[in-house]
Each structure stands twice: as structure tokens, then as C-alpha cells.
Amino acid sequence: MADACADFDESSQVKMHTPIVLIHGWGCSGGVWESLIPYLNKYADIITLDIFYDYKNTDDCCEAIAKHLPEHCILCGWSLGGMMATRLAGLYPLKIKALITLATNVSFVANMQWPDAMEGDVFAAFCASFALAPKKTLLRFLLLQVKGDVASKKQLAYLKKHSTNDVGLLAGLEYLSVMNNTKILSEDVVCPALLVFGEQDTLVPLSAVNKIKKMISKCQEVVTVCGKGHVLPFIDDVDLKNMDSNDMELNGSAMKKNNDLVLILNNFLENQAPVFYKNIVNE
């Protein structure tokens, strides 16, 4: 799509009322949602976006994305994608009916207003390194993302499979350097929201998570997953493709043991925003 920053992949859609739109993080394609889609597909149509960072600023990119969103949708974003999703939820509240973010800080780079993020000089060195040796630096970033997670080896292979060499990645780093969603999240996001973090995340410190808890409204919640790092879209050792709702209820404890994220999303989608997940076929 020449004039937009989002390509749609509707190959795995099932007809539901309000679709879930997935926005990937920096350095990956929309394929990074591969292991999570079979679960989310139980609840709604799934639309995956491939984001191109070829706009002057983040709000211009958000405007381009918004033009291609359904009339109403649930946004789910990971890392930079979560930051974009948060911004979209604040800027376009009539379109965004619920927000889910995974491993998403309000600011990726530390500043005076938000010090609980990556130090500015560290980020600047990373950007300089990426400009000189993008493939080598991207691998370093993948290793940083999986650090500390109990499934780090599997995650690294998964990220390598879904990483991208897109020429716009350097511009994407510019988005990361300037975006600050502190005001957006605390004042402008009014829809139900689930903000999920990994306990072992090296990019989003727990100090940031604790501050975010104090910023959100009563219809929003923060959940931290034990033993998990930054790569929350990766679902480990849980085959959801042939599991219906009864199976999920019966095997809830086993699912929680294998991947807390599945249970957390299940609770949010079923209990906090049930109006969005009715199947047209059952009406």
C-alpha cells in the first residue's frame, strides 16, 4: 500500500462483531503474532498490521493507521506497537473500544518527566550502531528482548523468524526516541484497557510498571506475568488451535501453569468487555 503505513492480513478471520487489530513492535513484522492469533481468533476477527515508519512523526503515522481501521475495534499492541496503540486510543476514542498493550512503557527513552526507561545515551549509541551495522545491531536487540525469560531460547528463534530488514527501521527508532504517552495514558485513554508486563523485562523496568498502575483509571488494569521478559506475544507450549471455550475452562489451571498471558487475556476479553465479543452467528 503506497499511501498508508498499514497492510491488512485477514487470512485467519472469523466473523465477530468487533475485530482485534494487532500492532507489532520495532524490528518485527506482523507475523510476530503467529502464536497468539489462534487464541484471539476465538473471540473476534483478527487484523494484523505491518507498520511502516515513513511518516514525519508518530501522530502522522497514527492518522494514516486510523484511516484503515474498522469503524470500531479493539487495539492490541506490543512494545512500540503498544505505544502506537495507546496513542491511537487517546487520539481516536470513538474508534477504539478497548486497548491491550504488551510490554509497553509510556516512554521508551528516559527523560526528566519519565526516568524509568532506557537511558538516553544508551539509546543514542544503539541508534548509531544500527545506522552502521543494522543486521548485527538488530540481533543484539533481539537478544536483549529475550534476556531473563524462562523461554529465551525458543523466543530468540521465534523473533529471528519474524524479524524484518525494512529500510524504515531507522525512522522507527526516531519514533521511539520522542514518543511520550504519559499524558495520553493518564488523561486521554478512556476505554477499558489491559496493560500486561513481564516481570523479567529488561526494557520496561518494574519501577515504570508501578508508576503506570497509579496513572490509570478504574476501567483499566495492570498485570505483571511472572518469569516473563519482553516477548509477550510468544506463547510457549500451549496448543490453542483445537481448543474450544469448554476446553479452556476445564484446562484453566494447566493453561495458567504454561502461559499466564493466555488466562489474563481470557479474563479481560470475557469479563471486562463482553459486549465486544458476541459472535454474529449466535445472534
Question: Rounded mean pLDDT of the chain?
Answer: 84
What does the pLDDT average to over 169-175? Answer: 92
* pLDDT, tens digit (0-9, with 9 covering 90-100), for 242-271: 344 444 443 433 333 345 788 899 888 886
Q: Tell me the pLDDT band of 52, cut-offs 50, 70 and 90.
A: confident
Q: Which three cell numbers stand for residue 203?
A: 526494557
Q: Would you say residue 81 has pLDDT above 50?
A: yes
Task: List the domains of the chain with CATH numbers.
Answer: 8-278 (3.40.50.1820)
Q: Which amino acid is at 43?
A: Y
What does the pLDDT average to over 50-68? Answer: 91
Q: Tell me the pLDDT band of 175, cut-offs 50, 70 and 90.
A: very high
What does the pLDDT average to over 32-46? Answer: 90
* pLDDT, tens digit (0-9, with 9 covering 90-100), for 93-112: 999 999 999 999 999 999 99
What does the pLDDT average to over 109-131? Answer: 95
What does the pLDDT average to over 32-59? Answer: 90
Q: Tell me the pLDDT band of 4, cut-offs 50, 70 and 90.
A: very low
The pLDDT assigned to 166 comes to 73
- For the whole model, what pTM was predicted? 0.85
Say how far apart CA 96 and CA 89 lie, in whole Å. Answer: 5
In this prediction, what percent of the chain has a pLDDT beyond 70?
82
What does the pLDDT average to over 222-229? Answer: 92
Q: Tell me the pLDDT band of 29, cut-offs 50, 70 and 90.
A: very high
